[in-house]
Amino acid sequence: MEPHLLRTFVTVADCGSFSAAAEQLGYTQSAVSQHIAALESDLGTPLLHRRPVAPTASGERLLEHAGPILLRLEAARADVRRTVAGPPSVLALAAAPLAADRLATALVAVRRSHPGTEVSLTVCGREQVVEAVATGEFALGLVDGIAAPSDPLRLSDAVRLRTSPIAHDDLVVALPNDHPLAHRRGLSLDDLTDARWIDAPDAAVPLASLRAATRAGGLRPALTCSGTDVHTLLALVAAGHGLAVLPQSIGAPGVTGVPLTAPRLVHRIELLHGLLSEPAAAALAAVLSDRE
């Protein structure tokens, strides 16, 4: 179970194709085939169905482990590298788009207390925030998600990272102003399972999260929007392409937010970090955490 074999395995499972994975990894199809064969012979069981390529039951189990293991390896390498490189010169921050605005205000205080600090902020999807904080690429990250009012966020536990709650907010269904439901005082997801939805997993609450939080089926996306641009998503909503669930604080002209009353869910923002060896990062974490 060498790491590079695991890596090609997850890539193949991800691509659903040996040749696509080969291209993505810079191997030949033959090498990829040999990698999978080596893994399967090592574990003594088929891991992938061929034609079409899909994980077997055993493959599914391995997939659950492989990602976290590879991430942990990356984190270990980065951790060691950091001891030799010394503290970085820029304070590198990552945030999911619906969490990023928290940084804007908190950074003001840090700018004042640590005037020389150069700051870099990357807005990207939630998984990428978790991964990049885990590998130490960023000192600090903010992620968001939905949960029952009393629950913390359920983050992928690939690597043990320190987390602390930063803020929470109610959820609304975003509708065009002229939508027939826009005047409602509240909406239940159960009434909206057959509505036209926009799935923008990195710019709004992912439909998958909503599905997981409800028993209700449905919630099929009429339009899928990738990328982290909330602005564009709001424009799509305003233009009537479909609905999206967002935290109450996000809005735009042309879009009405109607409180989501059932199921009872809240939007949460959590801070994610590793060791905080830099004083500026520690100070920022303190400022962010104190807000709660």
Residue 42: CB atoms within 10 Å: 12
The partner in contact with residue 58, picked from a second copy, DNA, none with C-beta cut-offs of 5 to 8 angstroms by kind, is: a second copy
The partner in contact with residue 68, picked from a second copy, DNA, none with C-beta cut-offs of 5 to 8 angstroms by kind, is: a second copy
What single-letter amino acid sits at 184? Answer: R
Dihedral of the CA atoms 240, 244, 246, 248 (nearest 10)?
A: 50
How far is residue 13's CA from residue 48's CA, in Å, rounded to a whole number?
Answer: 8
The single residue among 68, 88, 165, 254 that binds a second copy, judged by CB under 8 A, is 68
Give the interface segment with DNA, choosing from 46-54, 67-75, 121-129, 266-274 (CB under 7 A): 46-54
Question: Within 9-28, which residues bind DNA (CB under 7 A)?
Answer: 17-19, 26-28
Question: Within 159-188, which residues bind a second copy (CB under 8 A)?
Answer: 160
Is residue 29 within the footprint of DNA (CB under 7 A)?
yes
Is residue 150 within the footprint of a second copy (CB under 8 A)?
no
Is residue 1 within the footprint of DNA (CB under 7 A)?
no
How far is residue 207's CA from residue 223's CA, in Å, rounded to a whole number?
Answer: 11
154's CB contacts (< 8 A; 6+ apart) are 145, 147
Structure tokens at 11: 């890539």
Q: Computed over its alpha carbons, how large is the radius of gyration of the chain?
A: 22
Is residue 34 within the footprint of DNA (CB under 7 A)?
yes
Q: Which is nearer to DNA, 50 or 160 (CB)?
A: 50
Is residue 77 within the footprint of a second copy (CB under 8 A)?
yes
**Helical segments of the chain, H only:** 3-15, 18-25, 29-43, 57-85, 97-113, 126-134, 207-213, 230-238, 279-290
**DSSP character at residue 243:** B
Is residue 42 within the footprint of DNA (CB under 7 A)?
no
Is residue 23 within the footprint of a second copy (CB under 8 A)?
no
Shortest Å, Cβ 33 to DNA? 4
How far is residue 137's CA from residue 78's CA, in Å, rounded to a whole number?
Answer: 8
What single-letter amino acid sits at 234? Answer: L
Is residue 61 within the footprint of a second copy (CB under 8 A)?
yes
250: three-class secondary structure by DSSP: coil
Is residue 115 within the footprint of DNA (CB under 7 A)?
no
255: three-class secondary structure by DSSP: strand
The partner in contact with residue 160, picked from DNA, a second copy, none with C-beta cut-offs of 5 to 8 angstroms by kind, is: a second copy
Q: Which residues bind DNA (CB under 7 A)?
A: 2, 4, 17-19, 26-31, 33-38, 50-51, 53
Q: Which residues bind a second copy (CB under 8 A)?
A: 1-3, 43-45, 47, 57-58, 61-62, 64-66, 68-69, 72-73, 75-77, 79-84, 157, 160
